[in-house]
Chains A and B, each alone.
Chain A
Amino acid sequence: GAGVSQSPSNKVTEKGKDVELRCDPISGHTALYWYRQRLGQGLEFLIYFQGNSAPDKSGLPSDRFSAERTGESVSTLTIQRTQQEDSAVYLCASSLGAGGTDTQYFGPGTRLTVL
């Protein structure tokens, strides 16, 4: 595809339920990132994948958050036992490599609302 795609675009869930968010990166991009954007705030780094290397999970806020990536393609971010503070827009980005000079291209995001 032409850009990074994410699904669903919106997700409303009840507190305590699990949710799964999907990201399709740009074809050929080896690096993939997840960020969280709370209302009125900047983006917070969550996790990134680079090729076959172990992911950098240093930004995950709790063990309720996990992410997987299949090769250099789709990634899913899973939030277990959702809490109201998990309400945010979750953004995915991909880049050719994971060097600091590689431009990250962002998807439109998934807006998660936890009731």
Chain B
Amino acid sequence: AQSVTQPDIHITVSEGASLELRCNYSYGATPYLFWYVQSPGQGLQLLLKYFSGDTLVQGIKGFEAEFKRSQSSFNLRKPSVHWSDAAEYFCAVGPYNQGGKLIFGQGTELSVKP
């Protein structure tokens, strides 16, 4: 069955420190992969997406993610976290042959210490 796992429910980092949020997926073929961010009281905003090609993708707000087929992973990174990055982050898979519906992980809540 298709699934997305985000092993870390909650992460706390200091402002200015680097960040890596983990995402593992289970899918029979190459998936379309997404990272969304959800700030309190707001809808989800797309950070970045991977469809094909270069496995390192750049997104908005200084985020990047790397697709590693051998590890079935799509981890999100940021070299220096800002206090405004505190939010909930969701990894999602978009199966090619089932329309555009997305399968989401349970999310990782990021807290940023001053």
CB distance B100 to A102 under 8 Å? yes
Task: Please tell me which stretch of A13-21, A37-45, A67-75, A76-84 contacts chain B, meaning at least 4 of its Cβ atoms lie within 8 angstroms of it.
Answer: A37-45
B10 CB → nearest A CB, Å:
10
User: In A92-113, which residues have CB < 8 Å from any B CB?
Assistant: 93, 95, 97-109
Main secondary structure of the interface of A (DSSP, over half): loop
Please name all residues of chain A whose beta carbon is closer than 8 Å to the beta carbon of B32 when the two chains form the complex. 100-101
Which B residues touch A35, using CB under 8 A? 102, 104
Q: Are A50 and B99 in contact (CB under 8 A)?
A: yes
Q: Which residues of B68-104 are within 8 A (CB) of A?
A: 90, 92, 94-96, 98-104
Q: Are B101 and A48 in contact (CB under 8 A)?
A: yes
Do B102 and A45 touch (CB < 8 A)?
yes
Q: Which of B37-71 contact A (CB under 8 A)?
A: 41-46, 49, 51
Give A45-76 interface residues, CB cut-off 8 Å to B. 45, 48, 50, 56, 59
B residues adjacent to A (C-beta < 8 A): 4, 6, 32, 36, 41-46, 49, 51, 90, 92, 94-96, 98-107
